[in-house]
């Protein structure tokens, strides 16, 4: 009886061993290439590129316009694929992919959020960049233009120094755009990505405020503050600011609400809200509020805020700097200079010290520091 029980168990163990032997071991990519991933945010849009990095490996001058990076398209069906008109896979081995978690524009053309296979039909004067809905095939061996989501044309550029390992680099970045450059050997193929920062951010706020964040006045304040600072969705921002102010008494909440009241022409109401808010504001919040008033050319009010801050937080670096800015905004360079000099020995680091030294030099020359 015991032998009959043991025999099936041995078969199971042997079968497991056979299965383990057929599972491939983890090894580096073939051809000495390197796997890579690069990701950055543009606004709140995450751009992620996965690719394999081939090396030049002594082939300078023999990369582009050859079988490595051929011009236009090639028939890869003779190599076991199905594509008879395949662009370059923009890397090595597997499909290069690029993903966006929000809608974007590429070279001014719209592309919905998603993950795309990325291909390049190379030309020495012009390259066609292809974003394909097929993001899982091997290289471009199975490329089918029916899956194209977008095509754009760009001009390649020459590089001063050779790049040994192919890479994708984010350059020329702004708050709402970046250029991605495919760089390999002495060629760069750049393309510009742009996002609608206001739209994507407002959409994110709307979604978040339907979650548990909808019970948090600071979350409403953050959304409202973005609208106020960027002069966008102001009616919706006013609703969010009001919701925050009804249940939150912090300085940021109340100052944002006051900003919307003033925008609506209700200055006296805004002043009343700010008078109460200033009682709870900390040194840095009051300083930033004073700076905001200076930016709005409300110099008299700004100086009063800086004076209030100095009374609440005397003999501090930040409040001395605030007074220097406040008096400078009023054209009183003598008092401004005295406060800047008082701030100098209290500077917390070399950067702030250098900034104050620059202020002092300007004030001694009779120039406004704001």
Please write the tens of the pLDDT for every residue from 276-301: 888 889 999 999 999 988 988 989 99
User: Residue 142, SS3?
Assistant: coil
- What mean pLDDT is predicted for residues 314-339? 96
Do residues 207 and 333 share a domain?
Answer: yes
Q: In 3D, which of 208, 216, 211 has the Cα closest to residue 247?
A: 216
- What mean pLDDT is predicted for residues 38-47? 95
Do residues 54 and 38 share a domain?
Answer: yes
Do residues 185 and 241 share a domain?
Answer: no
- Angle in degrees, 0-180, between the axes of helices 251-263 and 283-295, rounded to the nearest 10: 20
pLDDT(70) > 70: yes
Cα–Cα distance, 238 to 236 (Å, whole number): 5
Do residues 268 and 154 share a domain?
Answer: no
Cα–Cα distance, 368 to 68 (Å, whole number): 60
- Domain ranges, residue 287: 198-364
Q: Domain count of the chain?
A: 2
The answer to whether residue 18 sits within a structural domain is no
Do residues 260 and 349 share a domain?
Answer: yes
Mean pLDDT of all residues in the chain? 90
pLDDT tens for 159-210 read 999 999 999 999 999 999 999 999 999 999 999 999 999 999 999 999 999 9
- Return the beta strands (E) in the chain as ranges: 34-42, 45-53, 97-100, 104-106, 109-111, 114-121, 127-132, 148-154, 157-171, 177-194
Range scoring the smallest mean pLDDT among 25-29, 104-108, 219-223: 25-29
The answer to whether residue 11 sits within a structural domain is no
Higher-confidence position of 65 and 14: 65
Range scoring the smallest mean pLDDT among 27-36, 214-223, 286-295: 27-36
Do residues 172 and 259 share a domain?
Answer: no
pLDDT(13) > 60: no
CATH number for the domain spanning 234: value is 1.25.40.10
pLDDT(18) > 90: no
Work out the pLDDT band at 28, boundaries 50, 70, 90. low
- pTM of the predicted model as reported, rounded to 2 decimal places: 0.74
């Amino acid at each position: 009886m015991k032998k009959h029980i043991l025999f099936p168990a041995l078969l199971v163990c042997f079968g497991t061993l056979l299965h383990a032997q057929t599972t491939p071991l983890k090894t580096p990519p073939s051809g000495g290439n390197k796997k890579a991933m690069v990701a950055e945010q543009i606004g709140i849009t995450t751009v992620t590129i996965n690719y394999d990095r081939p090396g030049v490996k002594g082939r300078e001058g023999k990369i582009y316009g050859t079988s490595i990076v051929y011009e236009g398209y090639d028939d890869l069906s003779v190599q076991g694929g199905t594509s008879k008109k395949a662009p370059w896979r923009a890397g090595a081995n597997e499909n290069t992919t690029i993903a966006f978690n929000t809608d974007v524009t590429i070279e001014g053309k719209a592309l919905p959020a998603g993950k795309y296979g990325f291909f390049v039909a190379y030309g020495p004067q012009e390259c066609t960049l292809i974003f394909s809905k097929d993001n899982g095939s091997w290289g471009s061996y199975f490329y089918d233009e029916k899956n194209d989501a977008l095509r754009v044309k760009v001009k390649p550029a020459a590089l001063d120094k050779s790049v040994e390992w192919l890479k994708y680099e984010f350059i020329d970045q702004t708050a709402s755009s970046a250029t991605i450059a495919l760089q390999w050997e002495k060629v760069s193929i750049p393309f510009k990505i742009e996002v609608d920062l206001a739209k994507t951010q407002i959409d994110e706020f709307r979604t978040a405020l339907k979650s548990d964040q909808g019970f948090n006045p600071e979350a409403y304040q953050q959304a409202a503050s973005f609208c106020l600072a960027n002069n966008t969705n102001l009616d919706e921002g006013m609703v969010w600011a009001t919701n925050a102010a009804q249940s939150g008494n912090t300085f940021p909440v109340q100052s944002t609400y006051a900003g919307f009241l003033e925008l609506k022409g209700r200055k006296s109401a805004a002043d009343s809200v700010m008078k109460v808010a200033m009682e709870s504001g900390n040194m840095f919040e009051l300083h930033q509020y004073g700076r905001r008033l200076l930016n709005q050319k409300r110099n008299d009010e700004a100086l009063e805020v800086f004076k209030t801050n100095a009374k609440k937080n005397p003999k501090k670096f930040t409040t001395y700097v605030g007074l220097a800015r406040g008096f400078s905004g009023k054209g009183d360079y003598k008092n401004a200079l005295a406060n800047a000099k008082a701030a100098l020995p209290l500077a917390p680091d070399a950067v702030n010290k250098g900034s104050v030294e620059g202020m002092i030099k300007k004030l001694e020359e009779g120039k406004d520091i704001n």
